[in-house]
């Protein structure tokens, strides 16, 4: 199952804030969260419908497991995934658009 916990596109340069529902679902199903970062916002910005040509880069992170179904464990797993994704997106955005 693929879940975008930020719920919407995020402007380039702005960190995403994740909903906890994906982490809660993973913990309650005893499954890992597999964080995935991409730079699609550089080609398909949040504002407007205009799209720019280019190659979207995708980075797949390590499987992250939660410890239990407690609210604290859900929040911690969610925060780890959010921190990892935001750090990777920041690196991708710093590289700029390929070809620019």
Percentage helix, strand, coil for the chain under 3-state DSSP, each rounded to 5: 35, 10, 55
Place of tokens 């995935």: 36
Do 21 and 90 meet the contact criterion of CB atoms below 8 Å apart?
no
Q: What pLDDT digit, counting tens, does each position of 17-63 carry?
A: 999 999 999 999 999 999 999 999 998 877 777 788 889 999 999 99
d(CA 53, CA 30): 39
In a domain, 34, yes or no: yes
What pTM did the predictor assign? 0.88
In a domain, 65, yes or no: yes
Residues spanned by the domain of 58? 21-94
Structure tokens of 91?
A: 């690196």
Residue 49 confidence (pLDDT) = 78
For the chain, what is the domain count?
Answer: 1
In a domain, 37, yes or no: yes
In a domain, 36, yes or no: yes
| Residue 100 reports pLDDT greater than 70 | no
């Amino acid at each position: 199952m693929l879940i975008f916990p930020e719920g919407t596109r995020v402007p380039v340069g702005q960190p995403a804030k994740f909903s906890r529902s994906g982490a809660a679902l993973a913990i309650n199903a005893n499954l890992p969260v597999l964080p995935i970062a991409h730079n699609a916002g550089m080609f398909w910005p949040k504002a407007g419908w205009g799209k720019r040509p280019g190659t979207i880069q995708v980075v797949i992170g390590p499987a992250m497991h939660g410890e239990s179904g407690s609210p604290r464990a859900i929040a911690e797993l969610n925060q780890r995934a959010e921190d990892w994704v935001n750090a990777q997106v920041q690196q991708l955005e710093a590289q700029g658009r390929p070809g620019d």
